[in-house]
């Protein structure tokens, strides 16, 4: 009997010791560090996301960058990844400009932390349409046909080039903070579902498609494509099993407040507020948009019922419906509820030593083949917008007092943007003759049984679903907008002819999309 008791005691101590070892500070543990920085400018800036220029008129809620520093192993050969999620419409990279946000961040980081390589730093955008413009460092007049000084009517304003430098400084400081805070921890992998992204293209009975528009019409046939309501989640914990942060990956851009002149992180701000209220003020939330080039949070069918529910849920104090704060809060509730519901299960299933691998590769993709007819049509359209721009420019010249009117620049900047949009088709037609392939940066990151795969595009959902379906990982996180890529539409959408699929909207076509899927899967398969 004594021997039996001693055996049970030894067995208990062995199990207890093993559990403590698994959670102890040892070389094999994943090391995790978090930080967040406010990248809201202190002066008016251009707001990205529409054809017309918008000079910011205040702050609805702060735009931020959340940084997750991960390391596995010890010394110079340890695997390292710095993941940065920004409340921006996109991340400018070397694809279109030499001076760009991605490289400005990388240059600052590696200068201070030489053990980190540029390719170990990933930067993604949540695609909020109410954030500072970072697509180019060119003079504002070259972007919108009107100078920043004219738009601001002599008041202080921050140029895109100055803002990119400002944001890069702030984000680099956040990286240094997160890297310095990294400690042994664990992660758990979760899957939920939340209705956030909805296909925004309506197919019409005559065979063509259009973006948005009233579906209460005899022309309406069906919604053009698929929707993905899965919610890929990754929770991170310290050695005391206290939650430190969570990655939330959803197939939707954050563009509810897309017409705002006030800066905003959109529904991600409301989601973070809701999660911190329930899980603690110190929780970090790293937001990712999965493939969602043809998705949006706007309801295409059944909007009246959605508005009613927003009111019943108590969100309607400042209005309901499309573009309202009520819509944002409704989305935030769906996201936060799912994360909170899974919390106990995730806490009971923590991996302390997950497989950790990261590979970056430049992948050449076939450019979209344009026809002479595409060029002729776009050039003709550009001519009409040139005439409109010239007319409006003359009107401002002859009536300079116009610039004292708030938002006086809206129409003239629309005309210039659409003029440039038409001319760019001819430029791409000539470029594809000498550069038929365009290299893009793809990252693949394995953490345990999950894999993250990036691309710089507003990638149509079908391509993301193909990667998810064929991936050997238990969960596959597709992360779009890790660069400044254009829309990447499907053949079906090109035939439909809606906004995101026309020549002016795209650098890469369906052939390149197929190449992206195949090459991404090739990289993923090497990790299994």
Q: What is the pLDDT of residues 319-362, one digit of tens each?
A: 999 999 999 999 999 999 999 999 999 999 999 999 999 999 99
The three-state secondary structure class of 525 is helix
pLDDT the model gives residue 94: 78
CA 107 – CA 172 distance, rounded (Å):
9
CA 332 – CA 227 distance, rounded (Å):
18
Q: What pTM, to 2 d.p., does this model score?
A: 0.94
Q: Which residue has the tokens 């008129």?
A: 57
The three-state secondary structure class of 47 is strand
pLDDT at 5 over 50: no
Q: Which residue has the tokens 């039996």?
A: 4
CA 470 – CA 262 distance, rounded (Å):
41
pLDDT at 10 over 80: no
pLDDT at 18 over 90: no
State the pLDDT confidence band at 13, using cuts at 50, 70 and 90.
Answer: very low
Q: Are 186 and 349 in contact (CB under 8 A)?
A: no
Quote the tokens at residue 326.
């009520």
Q: Which of 96-105, 331-340, 509-518 has the lowest mean pLDDT?
A: 96-105
In angstroms, the Cα distances linking 156 to 41, 42, 46, 56, 169 are 12, 10, 12, 12, 21
What residues are paired with 234 via a beta bridge? 189, 247
pLDDT at 16 over 80: no
301 Cβ neighbours under 8 A, 6+ residues apart: 215, 223
Strand ranges for 99-224 from DSSP E = 121-125, 183-193, 198-199, 201-204, 209-211, 220-223
C-alpha torsion sign, points 193, 196, 199, 202? positive
pLDDT the model gives residue 380: 96
Average pLDDT over residues 361-366: 98
Average pLDDT, the chain: 94
Quote the tokens at residue 181.
């805070």
pLDDT the model gives residue 28: 73
State the pLDDT confidence band at 75, using cuts at 50, 70 and 90.
Answer: confident
State the pLDDT confidence band at 4, using cuts at 50, 70 and 90.
Answer: very low
Q: Which of 80-84, 95-99, 202-206 has the lowest mean pLDDT?
A: 95-99
pLDDT the model gives residue 99: 84
pLDDT the model gives residue 23: 59
Q: Are 77 and 140 in contact (CB under 8 A)?
A: no
CA 358 – CA 81 distance, rounded (Å):
7
Look up residue 65 and give its DSSP letter.
Answer: E
Please report how many Cα atoms fall inside a 13 Å half-sphere around the Cα of residue 444, on the Cβ side. Answer: 23
Q: Are 472 and 447 in contact (CB under 8 A)?
A: no
CA 140 – CA 149 distance, rounded (Å):
9
Closest CA to 64 of 328, 287, 330, 292: 287
């Amino acid at each position: 009997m004594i021997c039996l008791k001693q055996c049970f005691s030894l067995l208990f101590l062995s199990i207890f010791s093993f559990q403590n070892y698994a959670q102890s500070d040892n070389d094999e543990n994943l090391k995790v560090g978090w930080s967040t920085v406010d990248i809201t400018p202190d002066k008016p800036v251009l707001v990205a996301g529409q054809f017309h220029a918008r000079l910011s008129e205040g702050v609805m809620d702060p735009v931020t960058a959340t940084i997750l520093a991960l390391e596995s192993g010890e010394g110079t050969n340890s695997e390292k990844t710095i993941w940065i999620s920004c409340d921006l419409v996109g991340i400018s990279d070397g694809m279109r400009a030499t001076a760009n946000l991605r490289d400005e961040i990388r240059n600052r980081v590696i200068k201070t932390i030489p053990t980190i390589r540029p390719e170990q730093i990933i930067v993604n955008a949540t695609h909020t349409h109410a954030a500072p413009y970072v697509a180019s460092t060119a003079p504002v007049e070259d972007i919108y046909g009107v100078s920043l000084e004219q738009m601001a009517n002599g008041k202080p304003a921050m140029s895109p080039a100055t803002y990119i430098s400002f944001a890069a400084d702030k984000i680099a400081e956040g990286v240094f903070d997160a890297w310095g805070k990294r400690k042994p921890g664990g992660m758990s992998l979760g899957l939920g579902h939340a209705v956030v992204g909805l296909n925004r293209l309506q197919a019409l009975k005559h065979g063509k498609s259009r973006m948005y528009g009233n579906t209460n019409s005899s022309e309406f046939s069906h919604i053009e494509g698929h929707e993905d309501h899965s919610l890929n989640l990754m929770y991170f914990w310290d050695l005391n099993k206290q939650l430190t942060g969570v990655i939330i990956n959803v197939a939707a851009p954050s563009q509810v407040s897309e017409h705002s002149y006030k800066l905003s992180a959109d529904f991600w701000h409301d989601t973070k507020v809701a999660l911190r209220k329930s899980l603690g003020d110190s929780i970090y939330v790293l937001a990712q948009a999965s493939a969602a080039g043809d998705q949006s949070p706007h309801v295409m069918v059944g909007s009246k019922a959605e508005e009613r529910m927003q009111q019943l849920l108590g969100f309607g104090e400042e209005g309901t419906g499309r573009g309202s704060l009520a819509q944002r809060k409704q989305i935030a509730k769906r996201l936060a509820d799912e994360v909170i519901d899974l919390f106990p299960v995730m806490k009971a299933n923590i991996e302390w030593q997950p497989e950790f691998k990261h590979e970056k590769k430049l992948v050449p993709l076939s450019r979209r083949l344009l026809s002479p007819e595409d060029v002729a049509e776009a050039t003709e359209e550009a001519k009409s917008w040139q005439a409109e721009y010239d007319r409006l420019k003359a009107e401002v010249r002859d009536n300079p007092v116009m610039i004292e009117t708030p938002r006086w620049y809206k129409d003239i900047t629309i005309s210039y943007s659409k003029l440039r949009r038409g001319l760019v088709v001819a430029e791409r037609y000539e470029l594809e003759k000498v550069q038929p392939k365009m290299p893009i940066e793809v990252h693949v990151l394995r953490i345990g049984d999950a894999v993250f795969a990036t691309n710089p595009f507003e990638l149509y959902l079908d391509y993301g679903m193909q990667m998810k379906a064929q991936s050997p990982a238990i969960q596959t996180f597709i992360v779009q907008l890790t660069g400044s890529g254009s829309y990447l539409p499907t053949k079906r959408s090109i035939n439909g002819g809606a906004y995101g699929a026309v020549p002016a909207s795209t650098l890469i076509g369906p052939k390149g999309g197929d190449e992206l899927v195949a090459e991404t899967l090739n990289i993923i398969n090497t990790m299994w």
